[in-house]
A = this chain, B = another copy of it.
Amino acid sequence: MGSQDTQLDLHCINTIRFLAVDAVEKAKSGHPGAPMGMAPFAYTLWDNFLKFNPLNPNWFDRDRFVLSAGHASMLLYALLYLTGYDVSLEEIKNFRQWESKTPGHPEYGLAPGVEVTTGPLGQGFANGVGMAIAERWLASRYNRPGHEIINHHTYALVSDGDLQEGVSSEAASLAGTLGLGKLIYFYDDNEISIEGDTDLAFRENVGERFEAYGWQVIGPIDGNDLIAIESALLQAKAESHRPSLIICQTIIGYGSPKQGTAQVHGEPLGEEAARIAKENLGWPLDPAFHVPEEVLAHMRKAVERGQAAEQEWLKRMEAYAAAHPDLAAQLQTQIDGNLPADWDKGLADLFPQDTKPIATRSASGKVLNLLAQRIPALLGGSADLAPSTKTELSGEDDFSAENPSGRNLHFGVREHAMGSIAGGMARHGGVIPYTGTFLIFSDYMRPPMRLASIMRVRVIYVFTHDSIGLGEDGPTHQPIEQIMGLRTVPNLTVIRPADAAETIEAWRAALLNKEGPTALLFTRQNLPVLDRNIYASAEGLQRGGYVLWQSATGMPDIILIATGSEVHLALEAAEALAAEKVKIRVVSLPSWELFDRQPLKYCESVLPSAVERRVAIEAGVELGWERYVGARGAVVGMKGFGASAPYKTLFNHFGFTPEHVVQAVRSLLAGTSEER
């Protein structure tokens, strides 16, 4: 420790360390090593730098703190408890237990003060970049001379593992490009990973790498030197044009007999080693979970400090509202996550009945552009595919280091970071982020989509080129298993609209969905705009599935169920069969999640259980469709990967023709269909 450290600082730091040690001991599982090594830095940051109000974890202009190394969760829980958040010592003692606020990895929504759910490495790193983007954009949109109402930093603690994951490389490169000067990351350089010394797999020069990205790199500093830590943080805050990485050499499991080894990473120290660690650092052996009174008194000053800071900000907000009432009202709407009153005005008129066939990606582009005019919080972009995904907002600037008020984000060819950054933006609040890429590349984004689903945040993922309909680019670019794969993710709403009108409804559903992310799946190829005088209204999409058309009233003989582009195929086949007096119904089922949320009675009205003869049609894997067609139904789907050829050729060869659907229906009606 530095010579000027007070005994009190040391006590605070050791309190954090041994709360972590004792909680892990009691839980009989967890990660004591990282909190023991990072405690001095974390303490310095929280005690001297971080702007937060423990009594209002939602104060909008607080600094954001992300524990990207989520396994060090006890570090964060200890800080939350000590600084006065609504996290009791009892919760610390319930670490990793059923229904505690203190799960194995920090989860947004359980303990107040946890900004984001972390654990899968690299994600928090990229989430933080998203938060810094949101801050920078909001600041440049809303701040006015003399009114710096949005002005905070984003901090993260990142580990070797975080820096090895590709998603952090993607996000770091983008953060450097965008010049996110209020991003300050602390790299816990402890040279230990689970398999042993980081030399085994990680010999790169991290500092030089980040300099190459355009970051300010500070250090390496000694992780136990509070003076050095403080000066590093001051240097980081002084830099406004580049993100900062503070490289901090720490000792994992500091104080324990096995410090500096992989053994202190992911399991309890054990009674003996915990005892020795306490002795080594001059800590009382009893009681466990010891918190000296002066430590609590000192660290709880955060409450007073935080309240004063927020009060001061509220006053500034009042002055801002007086000077710029419209802006202030608009910002408040965004902060509250609400949509403006007239947010969907004009949507219904976008595609008049005589609209020529249009790809749903193009329809989406028009919808998005209209919505962006009405919803100032809407902000996003694509992973270098905007001309194809139609996600560019025309007439809007690019978001860049030079112009942070631009609304078009350019993520580069970095789908993974795009997903994580969007999650971070959503968690920052004040913005509604959307992303864009081909559906196939959702495979690169699954980890952040899953975290957004766990956190139930509103992110809108635009995925175009949603089937073999993308044609010549071939099997590497043709989604087959992706539609169903996305449907398996809990809390993620997947919508695959059939035409321009359903596309409007899909966007409407996505914006109204505050309970989780939404994936919108659009075609590359043109599709007719259904004549809604003949077919049921596209508003049925809001219920997930609806009866689009039926050849005659009464109980049908057979039901065709389809999504997206295949709805048109279903209609063609149905019309052919209707001419043969088959009583046939076509159900458009754009969103399974929305449909399954409807009352059973509604579901029964769309898919009556009495009608067991059903054919599902979707240009994706068949697995999963048994849910709706049951054991007596049939599926017209993909049985393997696609191929490279013009898309009409592909649809023909893979059996997506009215003739093939008609044949499937006939087999069913004749009872000759193969049943499983």
Contacts and interface: CB of A to CB of B under 8 A. Distances in A.
A474 B104 CA distance: 6
A213 B209 contact: yes
A474 B105 contact: yes
Interface string A470-498: 01111111001100110111110000000
Contacts of A417: 166
B440 A454 contact: no
Contact of A645 (B96, B446, B475, B639): B96
A117 interface: yes
B201 A412 contact: yes
B164 A167 contact: no
A626 to B, nearest CB: 4
B645 A97 contact: yes
A194 B384 CA distance: 6
A512 interface: no
Contacts of A199: 177
Nearest to A440: B120
Nearest to A400: B200
A212 B209 contact: yes
A528 interface: no
Contacts of A624: 484, 488, 623-624, 626-627
A481 B477 contact: no
Contact of A384 (B161, B211, B609): B161
Contacts of A413: 121-122, 160-162, 164-165, 193
A387 B194 contact: yes
A223 to B, nearest CB: 20
A293 interface: no
Contact of A195 (B201, B400, B410, B609): B410
A300 interface: no
A201 B177 contact: yes
A404 interface: no
Contact of A120 (B30, B70, B205, B476): B476
Contacts of A168: 166
Contacts of A644: 96-98, 100, 103-105, 107
10 contacts: A96-B472, A103-B474, A164-B413, A165-B166, A166-B167, A177-B201, A193-B412, A201-B384, A490-B641, A612-B631
